[in-house]
Structure 1
Amino acid sequence: MTAALCLCLAAGLGLVWSWAHARRFSLERRLAPRLRGASAAPVSRTALARIVAPVADDLARLAARWGAPTEELERRLARAGSATTVARHRAHALAGAAAGLAGGLALGLVLGAVRGTGPGIALIVAACAAVLGALAPDALLARRASGRAARIRAELPAAAEMIALAVVAGESVPAALDRVASLSPGPLGDELRTALAEIRAGRSVGSALDRLAARVGEPGVTAFCDAIVTALERGTPLAEVLHAQATDVRDRSRQALLEEGGKREIAMLVPVVLLILPVTVLFALYPGLLALRFGI
């Protein structure tokens, strides 16, 4: 009961402070309707929206101040291939924190009613749930980015070989990228299509490939794009460079598979050491211990 009253008091104080902050004089707010023109229709907002909007803006600024920087968050969203904006991602984090706080308070009240715990336990549970709810969108974004990076690593060797074959057949680099992008339905194809759209919009091939490597953030993709850009700038035979890069990409993929196999091999020792070996030792020693105890 005490925790619920404290929460209501804090929410009421926050709403009052937000209302007073929104009523503060702002020259930008006064001039905005006139700068937009007289024909602009006023935005109709309900009373609840007018009350909640300042709170949401303040929470968004607080999340931007204490959370991840905007550039880093944009980079992570690009690597995950998400169309969500930075503001929407932070809004999801705030919504997760609010949902976790509400769920934690409910769980704390239930524990207080069933087990007789004090309000301190309820506040601790609510705080932990709020932190977990706020971190959940970042965890999901990191998992999505990791899965997308794995798919790009798997698609890169075949794409490198196809680009090399297309260039050897006489096609230009944009035409080779277009051919490979049309045949690749995965995330690497999406990144190639984005780079091609930038090239058609007037960006140079080297700049578009540099931006592709920055968006993906994979060492193999970065090395492949850097090799193409270097060959275009220095006049190196592009076919030989692409074949060498395709071979290097396949070697990287093979090395990654060997490393993953080594990790799996070590992980397989855990059930052997913790489960199978103790049972085997027990079965081997139990008859002898039984004989010593009963003198058989």
Structure 2
Amino acid sequence: MSTATTVAVALVLGGSFATGVLLVARRVPRWAAPTLSRRIAPYVRDIADPLGLTPLAPALPWVGWRARRDRLAAGLGANDALVRRLHKAGWSQDAVAFRAGQLGWALGGALVGAVLVVVLTLTDRMTPVAVLLPPLLAAAGAALCDLRLTAAARRRAARVEEELPTVLEFLALCLAAGEGLRDALRRVGEVGAGELTGEIRRAVLATGTGSSLADALGELSRSLDVPALSRAIDQLIAAIDRGAPLAGVLQAQAADAREDAKRMLIEQAGKKEVAMLLPLVFLILPLSVLFAVFPGVVMLRLGIG
């Protein structure tokens, strides 16, 4: 048995033993029960942790791991761009929680890479390149978490663009019926059940807590970051400032949104048409040629005909 194999076996056995010991220790009643400081902290938040989550005197090293994880995740970066992406995707978690989850994905990838390295060592297939598996899989895990956020934000933006023409037309109808803009927005938020109407409800709630309607709509536009919605809100805010008729502005914006939706649909149809040609050119056409030529080649080889 080589030295590398001995080290791999030691890592597997030691890790299994340590995991078993920790699992047994977690089930011991005296250790598994929350501490006194942990139980009373939510009732004395003014003199304890502001969130009432971090124990005053942890009894075990892993008690309070969530607070340490959040501090580490905050150190990785929780900037405003990430906050906007999370809000655009509609995720309820904050930036620190997302970074913590991304860190967990990276650690999981590194663990999988380490397991693969141990397996390769035990089967005598270890190569110098295999040492790069843990960091590569860790980077892949972090990148996958970020890609999930980007894809969720893109899907939600697409849903907002689909809902925009209907919402603008309904707002124009309410304004033409004599309602004010705030009442029309409140009615749309109460009737609708989509992504955009949910954001409109938040904007109306913000106007009830001290924000002006223009500021609330501007924040809605910046948080969703959808070009068609941003143009409509900019035109609406300009109409409010200049005293222009809002119903006509909204009807024009709804017509523009309909045209944008038609153009996007045509573009998607063109892309799908090209994608549909791929199996036709590379799969169906070669098989048709093969079925047409192969019998003749066989007959020529056999001397028939």
TM over 0.5: yes
For residues 143-158 of structure 1, what are the structure 2 equivalents within 5 Å? 143-158=151-166
Q: CA RMSD in A?
A: 2.8
**Per-residue deviation at 1:180?**
0.7
Equivalent residue number for residue 82 of structure 1? 91
Per-residue displacement from partner, 1:228-268 (whole Å, max 9, x unpaired)?
Answer: 11111111111111111111111111111111111111110
Per-residue displacement from partner, 1:131-164 (whole Å, max 9, x unpaired)?
Answer: 1222232122112212211211121111111000
Query: What is the distance in 2 between the residues matched to 1:48 and 1:216?
Result: 41
Is 2:70–2:97's contact at 8 Å kept on the other side of the alignment? no
Equivalent residue number for residue 120 of structure 1? 128
Query: What is the distance in 2 between the residues matched to 1:195 and 1:223?
Result: 17
Moved more, 246-255 or 117-126: 117-126
Is 2:8–2:122's contact at 8 Å kept on the other side of the alignment? no
Moved more, 240-249 or 136-145: 136-145
**Per-residue deviation at 1:4?**
8.9
Per-residue displacement from partner, 1:90-122 (whole Å, max 9, x unpaired)?
Answer: 1111111111111211122122223x1226344
Tell me the matched-pair count. Answer: 263
Equivalent residue number for residue 56 of structure 2? 43
Equivalent residue number for residue 222 of structure 2? 214
Secondary structure of the equivalent of 2:61?
Answer: helix
For residues 93-132 of structure 1, what are the structure 2 equivalents within 5 Å? 93-114=102-123, 116-118=124-126, 120-132=128-140
Query: What is the distance in 2 between the residues matched to 1:144 and 1:58?
Result: 26
For residues 11-30 of structure 1, what are the structure 2 equivalents within 5 Å? none
Is 1:195–1:208's contact at 8 Å kept on the other side of the alignment? yes
- Contiguous gaps of at least 5 residues in structure 1: 9-36
**Per-residue deviation at 1:5?**
8.3
Q: Does 2:238 align with 1:230? A: yes
Equivalent residue number for residue 12 of structure 1? none
Per-residue displacement from partner, 1:155-189 (whole Å, max 9, x unpaired)?
Answer: 11111110000000011111111111111111111
Query: What is the distance in 2 between the residues matched to 1:4 and 1:123?
Result: 17
**Per-residue deviation at 1:218?**
0.7
Equivalent residue number for residue 278 of structure 1? 286
Query: What is the distance in 1 between the residues matched to 2:67 and 2:250?
Result: 54
- Contiguous gaps of at least 5 residues in structure 2: 15-43, 49-54
Q: Does 2:73 align with 1:60? A: yes
Is 1:104–1:126's contact at 8 Å kept on the other side of the alignment? yes
Per-residue displacement from partner, 1:39-85 (whole Å, max 9, x unpaired)?
Answer: 82571223414796897467435522xxxx61110110010111111
Change (3 A) 1:158 1:43: same
Taking structure 1 as the reference length, the TM-score comes to 0.80
For residues 110-189 of structure 1, what are the structure 2 equivalents within 5 Å? 110-114=119-123, 116-118=124-126, 120-189=128-197
Is 1:3–1:122's contact at 8 Å kept on the other side of the alignment? no
Change (3 A) 1:221 1:212: same
Query: What is the distance in 2 between the residues matched to 1:3 and 1:120?
Result: 15
Equivalent residue number for residue 21 of structure 1? none
Query: What is the distance in 1 between the residues matched to 2:228 and 2:202?
Result: 18
Secondary structure of the equivalent of 1:48?
Answer: coil
Equivalent residue number for residue 79 of structure 2? 70
Change (3 A) 1:212 1:4: farther
Change (3 A) 1:46 1:95: farther
Q: Does 2:297 align with 1:289? A: yes
Change (3 A) 1:57 1:203: closer
